[in-house]
Structure 1
Amino acid sequence: MSSAQSFRDGLLAAVPTLRAFAVSLAKNTDRADDLVQETLVKAWDKQDSFQQGTNLKAWLFTILRNEFYSQMRKRKREVEDSDGAITARLSVHPSQDGSSDLTDFRKALALLPEDQREAIILIGASGFSYEEAAEICGCAVGTIKSRVSRARSRLADILGIEGENDFGPDAIAVQVTNSPAVA
């Protein structure tokens, strides 16, 4: 009998005791069967590292035990998401759309008169209040409000924004990223 045939026969003979050991570890017959199958696949793949004349059953039990603990460590890092709620929150809109929108916005911002650009950046990007921005620019609060209003209107015109629905991702991107995962 060849060594490959002998190895195969040894694997088959060990299956019942491997399964019993796997059930005792996993406490679930389905998981135990998967564990035994994974053990046999790994053993078959690594049969060249098995030394003839040593205890095959002990070698297989070691593989099974190591696989069990590897799966346990992996499961600790995994989060159960059977209804897909967590995964749905992880979806993101394509970055290329945001990048091109930002490029368009920067070009439009550069087209604004300097006083409007300064006012919109102080209020919109830097987070200053109208009073603080007025103090920084050395003008009245009403002047800053007027400049910001005109800057917003001009940016909307340049960018072709007609309403709230024009902000953010397009309808197709929203539909794709908000739809539940297809199994």
Structure 2
Amino acid sequence: MITSALPSPADLRAEREAADASATAWALAARAGDTDAVDRFVRALHRDVLRYVSYLCADPQAVDDLAQDTFLRALGSLHRFEGRSSARAWLLSIARRAVIDGFRHASARPRRYDGADWQAAVERAQPQGVPGFDDGIALLDLVAALPAERREAFVLTQMLGLSYEEAAVIGGCPVGTVRSRVARARGELMELVG
């Protein structure tokens, strides 16, 4: 009999819940002044914040800055974190506000490119020959084609692994709305791929 080497959905959920519990415990310990817990908290959630911000933000150059801004905001307001939700959900809601503020800032001060052929400069800056790069670009293009609310719900639940309840808290909408958005996003992606 052949068995799958992939973990079951229940195992993945249990693993994510354990990681969320650890990150929340580190956030609460950091709130109490434990500097080692601050480092563990940031390391545990840094990748998720980068992924989430990169899907919300249209400017790849700003992703690291927005992630850093997210952690600065979070650490500055850590004294108000009470652990009523997971630290991941709390941090991703801060990341969402950081991206929105970044959009507001960018729209108030647009940047201009001084070069003569900006399209050629962009094409030269793209990595080439990297395994999986074209597939990643195709996935980004497909996800980017989704309406913003559906894209956000899809990324939070399907790519970052948050529960529908946590995504609802971050998105500021009911759980049923998140479920509907994810289902519609899946349908649209299937149509785009087909």
Task: Report the TM-score when normalising by structure 1.
Answer: 0.40
In our comparison, the structure showing a higher alpha carbon Rg is 1
Task: Report the TM-score when normalising by structure 2.
Answer: 0.38
